[in-house]
């Protein structure tokens, strides 16, 4: 299951997130989204957990918990095609 993690502290690392989620099960990958120009964190990440039951337990246990001074938001990630398209202004 792909898990969205939002409201992250800008100084959290992928290793920090992996350790946090690994206490609830196997973690196959962690990706913190960064700004393509500055390289700084955008404040959200995706965590991939192969077992559905462990992922659901992690979501339930970690949503709204304080991590590095911020209450994180944790839920199942939606596929990209479900998001509304952004309109570009020229």
Is the model more confident about 84 or about 16? 16
Calculate mean pLDDT across residues 46-73: 97
Strands ordered across the beta sheet of 2-6: 29-34, 41-48, 2-6, 73-76
Q: Any idea which fold 2-79 has?
A: Alpha-Beta Plaits (3.30.70)
- Which residues are 6's β-sheet partners? 73
Residue 88: the pLDDT is: 67
Mean pLDDT (the chain, rounded): 92
pLDDT of 83 over the 70 cut: no
């Amino acid at each position: 299951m792909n898990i969205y993690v939002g409201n992250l502290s800008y100084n959290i690392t992928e290793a920090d997130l992996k350790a946090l989620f690994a206490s609830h099960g196997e973690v196959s990958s962690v990706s913190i989204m960064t700004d393509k120009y500055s390289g700084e964190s955008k404040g959200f990440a995706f965590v991939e957990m192969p077992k559905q039951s462990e992922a659901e337990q992690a979501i339930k246990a970690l949503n709204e918990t304080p991590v590095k001074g911020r209450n994180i938001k944790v839920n199942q990630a939606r596929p990209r095609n479900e998001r509304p398209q952004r309109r570009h202004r020229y």
